[in-house]
Amino acid sequence: MNEEQKPLNIILLGISGSGKGTQGGILRERYNLEYIGTGDLLRQFSKEDNAVARRMKQELAEGKLVPTWLPFYLWMNKLAHVSEKKGVLFDGSPRKIMEAELLEDVLDWYGRSNIKAILIDVSPEESFRRLINRRTCEKCGKSAYISQEKTEAICEYCGGVMRIRPEDNPEAIKTRIKWFHDEVSQVIDFFEKKGQLIRINGDQSVDDVTKDMIKAIEG
Ligand SMILES: [Zn+2]
């Protein structure tokens, strides 16, 4: 098999507010990819009744972070159940250089050598502008960007009230943006050195980001 016939394995990288969720959905559909999302996997796992899940929930309640190996264990477990003919889309991972190295190693072992790491690259200024205007539905959890001048907003999916979450305050947003750039820059360098990185200008419209991604994937 040449690289083009091998299933496509996409690692989607981008800060919150980069439009990663929307673009990930488009890529999944277009290339029939199995979705491996760290957030979803952790949420599912937290509903399980076992010692590790109970400890994770307790630690999260105490404000601790999920240990590095846990998302990794969940990705691998999920990946083992995906047909080798089907491509995958990793979302929300890897965040640390160690995770990137391990992920590369495992994908290689599974024979998944056709890897494309797509970075939706949003400037810190644009990230801030989007996140400061983000409101989240208190009923269904979907978010949208709504000008601060608008006092009331209703969710277009479920009719719930859209509110600014406490963690979307200016200081917390600045910290998150800095954290993302500090930590993920190593992961980006890693994929760049491997020749697997596709950098997309994320300051553009949703449609233009999609067009650029498809052009880069399909050459
Ligand atoms: Zn809603």
Tens digits of pLDDT across the chain (219 residues): 555 578 999 999 998 889 888 999 999 999 999 999 888 888 899 889 999 999 988 888 887 778 888 888 898 899 999 998 999 999 877 778 888 998 898 898 888 999 999 999 999 999 999 999 999 999 988 888 888 788 889 999 999 999 998 888 999 999 989 988 888 889 999 999 999 999 999 999 999 999 999 999 998
Separation of 36 CA from ligand 1 center, angstroms?
Answer: 24
> What are the DSSP calls for 74-98, one per residue?
HHHHHHTTS-TTS-EEEES---SHH
* Segments of the chain assigned E as strands: 9-13, 34-37, 88-91, 115-121, 134-137, 143-145, 162-163, 197-201
Q: Which CATH class is domain 9-123+184-218?
A: alpha beta
Whole-number Å distance between alpha carbons of 219 and 213? 10
What separation in Å is there between the alpha carbon of 3 and the centre of ligand 1? 41
Query: In the chain, where are the structural domains located?
Result: 9-123+184-218
Distance 136 CA to ligand 1 centre (A): 8
Joined together, the tokens standing for residue 113 give 């050598």
Q: What angle do CA 130, 134, 140 make, to 5 degrees?
A: 140
CA angle 115, 119, 122 (to 5 degrees): 175
The pLDDT value recorded for residue 39 is 81
Reduced to 3 states (helix: H, G, I; strand: E, B; else coil), residue 143 is strand
CA of 152 to the centre of ligand 1 (A): 14
